[in-house]
Structure 1
């Protein structure tokens, strides 16, 4: 049975009508890149660190050449200028199996309920067999009302028959939260479905949606600068990755298909 070590590392200010945004590693790391950018740009306060024996059995070497256990972190950011209070969930990893994913998601919902959170947004990627020039954004969830609130002209909410199952915490938070009368949506952006590909263009499209809807005051100029730097670092890999896809990498779907993996 999984054990969850939740360490309080900061004191949250009083929150009112807070919205939770989740962005953990998954296909293209689309959600993680977007969530990490929000945390950095808003200078959010970290309040919890979560470690577990249900996370991968490894450690990460940090910039100080020391090691860190894999962890998931919870941040808070008070709203200002018309923006909403936020609880931000991000980290290095996801739970490694189905049972622990359920247990972890329930534990997160317990934390959110303690802050009286009623609305959740999860972020992720839709894996394609090619690199999209301009990733499309899709929207689904457990509440038609919340979906309508977040709909924008460039978003597609017709996912049935197009996108496969939403796997992992990003999906389970949508389903399990409904049992607690919480509203939840997933904002998903297309990306190349290779495990070595970083879907920064998809992250950018998601951040545009959140920036407009939530008045996050994110610097899109800074976002553009960061994305160009990341893309330059990985440009040399792209042709090799596309060649691998043509050779039949089993986890990649055909060019006309889409599948959400995590």
Structure 2
């Protein structure tokens, strides 16, 4: 086995296409967004990516069947009013080491360039470290023109956020794509607590992307997942409040006894 194997099911002919990345990360925002998009536009899988830089494991489905962890490429032609071709990247894991991240990103960009990609969007989450009621979309881009285009869609750009930069595939795709492959890029990050998988943040990121593509999709499945997560977070809040009340009650009793 090579360090990285990209096994093509088919090699679609794409023109002036956009690559959209959504791999596991903070709140799984990017992964949720891209997987939802794949379902909504009925994108077709064109390649499986296996690598020694992924964790040494298989995933087991509900039927007990095992699958070697991988990344996957999908495509869809003629999306939106401008008939834009899309190449979509998602998967089970990112590379485990810095070297693996660089090698995987470089290999994927090399393949994407040959397939006709000239722009890319990386999707992810921005951790606030606290509960977020109405998430906003933060951005980073490789050109001022892209910044201005995304600001028109209410994407927020700031020198302070993200303060530590963008790590992992979402950041490297922008950096290596711009420097080595002449691929302009934008990273869209949905605000999230970082505590849970966050479908609500995925929704706002995906909605911004679809506005850029001048295309419409349904969000019902993401909305249902968001409601489930909200129920869970409310239960956690209730448990925290109950614990605080017990502590306060115990403290009062102790003061009284003393």
- SS at 2:72 equivalent: strand
The structure with the larger Rg is 2
Deviation of residue 217 (structure 1)? 2.4
- SS at 2:87 equivalent: strand
Deviation of residue 42 (structure 1)? 0.7
Distance 1:242 1:31 in 2: 29
- SS at 1:78 equivalent: strand
TM-score between both structures, scaled by the size of structure 1: 0.84
Distance 2:63 2:222 in 1: 22
Distance 1:74 1:148 in 2: 29
Residue 127 of structure 1: aligned partner:
127
Range 62-71 or range 118-127, more displaced: 62-71
TM-score between both structures, scaled by the size of structure 2: 0.85
Q: What is the correspondence of 1:207-218 to structure 2 with a 5 Å cutoff?
A: 207-218=206-217
Residue 98 of structure 1: aligned partner:
98
Distance 1:242 1:206 in 2: 29
Distance 2:76 2:98 in 1: 31
Listed as ranges, the gaps of 5+ residues in structure 1 are 245-262
Taking structure 1 as reference, are residues 113 and 241 closer, same or farther at Cα in structure 2, changes over 3 Å only? Answer: farther
What RMSD in Å do the two structures reach over aligned CA positions?
A: 2.2
Distance 1:136 1:88 in 2: 23
Listed as ranges, the gaps of 5+ residues in structure 2 are 241-258
Taking structure 1 as reference, are residues 159 and 231 closer, same or farther at Cα in structure 2, changes over 3 Å only? Answer: farther
Residue 33 of structure 2: aligned partner:
34
- 1:228 paired to 2:252: no
Deviation of residue 237 (structure 1)? 5.3
- 1:45-86 deviation line (CA, Å, top 9, x unaligned): 111100111101221111332011111001110014433110
Higher helix share: 2
- 1:179-231 deviation line (CA, Å, top 9, x unaligned): 2221011001100122xx11111101011111111023212xxx134322453
CA contact (8 A) 1:4 1:52 kept: yes
Residue 185 of structure 1: aligned partner:
186
